[in-house]
Amino acid sequence: MNRAVGQHHGDLRRALIDAALELIADSDVDAVTLRAVARRARVSAGAPYHHFEDKNALLAAVALDGFDALGRRQVEIADRETTGSARLERLAAEYVLFAWEHESHYRLMFRTLLLELPGAEAAALDQAARAAFSRLAEAITAANPALGQPESFQRALLAWSLAHGAVDVGRWGAGLTADLDRSALAADVGRAVRRLALEPPESDGQ
């Protein structure tokens, strides 16, 4: 049985988000329409309009759902890892794993169109994306307190880019990564980000 079918028990909004995720997994983002989502969730064609003004509002909700799930995982790591460097390594590795495990979410989480929507949806998405990035930046600062704010931020951007690149390699590498061990690559990303953060400040190395 599909997750969205017969399981909303009054939580129609959740059922519609799950239906959209299934459509993305089965096809692509372009397959998501309010009518298609209603059909997948086995509700009336007009039911989605009780929660979402249009398709973009639904897609924004799906993206925000992804950020919420990522945020919970990041908070769990922060609570579990006692040192800044260990927390940073785990955050980077888990980000890569999360993107692969939640590919339907990931396809939407950084979609520029959604971040440019008017109203509360775009503001909530922007805030969620910034919060996810801030947790990484804070871990870099904790791992290497000698870094000043500008350099810490720059290294966070580099770490973020490295993680995103690894995600795309794992998704689109085709024959290049036919025998790819995703867990090993995610762990390598974590270690690389840790080394990046622990490098002394530029001014000290010149």
Distance CA 59, CA 78 (A): 29
Phi-psi region of 201 (alpha: psi -120 to 50; beta: other; left: phi over 0): beta
Q: pLDDT tens for residues 4-36?
A: 444 455 689 999 999 999 999 999 999 999 999
Cβ pair 49, 70 in contact under 8 A: no
What type of residue sits at position 47? Answer: A
Looking at domain 55-198, does it have CATH number 3.40.50.720? no
List the pLDDT tens digit at each of the 206 positions of the chain.
Answer: 344 444 455 689 999 999 999 999 999 999 999 999 999 999 999 999 999 989 999 999 999 999 999 999 999 999 999 899 999 999 999 999 999 999 999 999 988 777 777 777 788 898 999 999 999 999 999 999 999 889 999 999 999 999 999 998 887 765 666 677 889 999 999 999 999 999 998 765 44
- Domain ranges in the chain? 1-52, 55-198
Distance CA 164, CA 146 (A): 26
- What is the pTM assigned to this prediction? 0.86
Sign of CA dihedral 30, 34, 40, 45: negative
| DSSP 8-state code for residue 172 | H
With b for 16 or more beta-carbon neighbours within 10 A and e for fewer, the 145-163 pattern comes to eebeeebbeebbeebbebb
Distance CA 29, CA 137 (A): 30
| DSSP 8-state code for residue 200 | P
Q: Which CATH number fits domain 1-52: 1.25.10, 1.10.10, 1.20.1330, 1.10.530?
A: 1.10.10
